[in-house]
Structure formats: C-alpha cells, structure tokens
C-alpha cells in the first residue's frame, strides 16, 4: 500500500505536491514520515543513483529523481517494489508533461496541489488487486529492482548533514583563502613600495655623498 506520495524540487527540497492515504486502516501517524520525506527531498540529489529505496522502520521510501524533480512514495514493506517504481514513473511522466516548464520559477510550497487528483487516481489503480496483477505483467520491462540500492534513512539523512557541514567548511575555507590572497597582495605591494623608497633614499644619499665629499 502507498501511504504517502511527495513531489519536490530536488535542488532545494521545495515541496510541489503531495497526497496521503485516506484509508482508516492505514498508519494514522504519518506526521513523522512526512517530515522525513521533506528531509529526503533535500538529500536525494546527492545520491549516485536516480532511483532507490530508503528504509524507515516498518515503511520504505521509494524515490525517483528526474530533471531536478524528486518523486517519493512511502509504502509498506510488503508492497511490491516493482509496482512502487512503476507507480513513480507513472506520476513522474504525467507531472513532467503538465508542470515541468513551470517548476524552476516556483517560489511557494505545494504550488501544484491540484496534481493530487491524478496521484490519488494512480495510487488506487496500483493498489487494486486486479490492476496489480495486470500491471505486474505490463511492467516486466522495468529494470531489475534487485539492483536498485536500498539504504537506511538515518544513513541518508546523516550523510546529507555531513555534506552540508562540508559545504559550510568549504565555503569558509574559500572565504579565508580570498582573505589571505588579498592580504598577500597588500603585503607584496607594501614590500614593493618599500624597496622603491629604499632605492630612492640610497640614490639621494649617494648623490649627496658625491657632491659634498668628492667635490
């Protein structure tokens, strides 16, 4: 069962659209998973693969990153990974056709919440038992899901924090480097001027020596 679907801009993690399962038997405590999903939107751009799975307790986040957009589906562990990725490819194709040209200019979160209607429709079709049997046959061409990386959410979020820390340190080092280069140019200029002043003084002293002592 797909409990949560989240679409966001991967470069900055801005949520663009979302949908949650309305089934009363579904996990009623989705707040933590929603927060985890929002955090993942910012981290998954750093992953080597554009497709993958991130385990979180009894649930799994399956993700697909295409054209600076991250598509997330929170599923029960028992839900077919093949169907989960087929589902993500379905909504990714539809979302790109509808909104891709506008994504870069979006400034407010959940700007495309009207897409929730399509998400709900697609989710129901993938969760219907008869549709699932039919889709399983249709999606045999999907790449072997066994080769798609599975990670733990703590590892992904921690790695994201480490990368963020490294970016901060790198930015600080870059600023310090610019400062040192500026100071080095200033010191070199002072040294050059000092040499010129020293030469002029020596030249003047030499002229005075020649004038008053030799003649």
What percentage of the chain exceeds 70 in pLDDT?
67
- pLDDT value at residue 25: 46
Average pLDDT over residues 72-97: 91
pLDDT above 70 (res 207): yes
Which comes out higher in pLDDT, residue 212 or 116? 116
Which comes out higher in pLDDT, residue 102 or 140? 102
User: What do you get for the CA distance between the two ends of the chain, in Å?
Assistant: 108
- pLDDT value at residue 205: 72
Which comes out higher in pLDDT, residue 104 or 204? 104
| Angle of the 129-138 helix axis to the 116-127 helix axis, nearest 10 | 90
Q: What is the mean pLDDT of the chain?
A: 77
- pLDDT value at residue 126: 82
Average pLDDT over residues 155-184: 55
- In this prediction the pTM is 0.66
- pLDDT band at residue 165 using 50, 70 and 90 as cut-offs: very low
- pLDDT band at residue 79 using 50, 70 and 90 as cut-offs: confident
What is the spatial distance between Cα 214 and Cα 210, in angstroms, rounded to a whole number? Answer: 5
- pLDDT band at residue 1 using 50, 70 and 90 as cut-offs: confident
pLDDT digits (tens, 9 = 90+) for 193-202: 777 777 878 7
Between 11-25, 26-40, 100-114, 161-175, the lowest mean confidence (pLDDT) is in 161-175
pLDDT digits (tens, 9 = 90+) for 126-159: 877 555 555 555 555 455 555 666 777 777 776 5
**Short-list 88, 144, 94, 141, CA closest to 114:** 94
Is residue 156 within 8 A of residue 40, CB to CB? The reply is: yes
Q: What is the 3-state secondary structure of 140-182?
A: CCCCCHHHCCEEEHHHHHHHHHHHHHHHHHHHHHHHHHHHHHH
pLDDT above 80 (res 95): yes
Average pLDDT over residues 32-53: 84
User: Yes or no: is domain 2-148 CATH 3.40.640.10?
Assistant: no
Q: Give me 211's structure tokens.
A: 């004038």
- pLDDT value at residue 215: 55
């Amino acid at each position: 069962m797909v409990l949560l679907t989240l679409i966001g801009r991967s470069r900055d993690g801005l949520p663009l659209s979302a949908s949650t399962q309305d089934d009363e038997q579904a996990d009623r405590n989705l707040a933590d998973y929603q927060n985890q999903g929002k955090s993942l939107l910012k981290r998954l751009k750093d992953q080597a693969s554009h497709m993958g799975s991130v385990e979180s307790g009894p649930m799994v986040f399956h993700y697909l990153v295409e054209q600076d957009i991250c598509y997330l589906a929170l599923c029960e562990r028992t839900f077919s990974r093949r169907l989960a990725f087929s589902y993500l490819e379905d909504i990714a194709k539809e979302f790109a056709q509808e909104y891709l040209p506008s994504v870069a200019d979006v400034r407010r979160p959940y700007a495309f919440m009207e897409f929730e209607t399509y998400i709900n429709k697609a989710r129901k079709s993938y969760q219907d038992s008869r549709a699932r049997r039919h889709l399983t046959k249709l999606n045999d061409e999907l790449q072997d899901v066994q080769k798609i990386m599975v990670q733990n959410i703590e590892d992904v979020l921690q790695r994201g924090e480490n990368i963020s820390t490294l970016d901060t340190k790198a930015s600080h080092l870059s600023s310090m480097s610019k400062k040192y280069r500026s100071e080095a140019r200033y010191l070199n200029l002072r040294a050059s001027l000092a040499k010129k002043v020293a030469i002029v003084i020596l030249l003047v002293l030499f002229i005075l020596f020649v004038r008053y002592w030799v003649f």
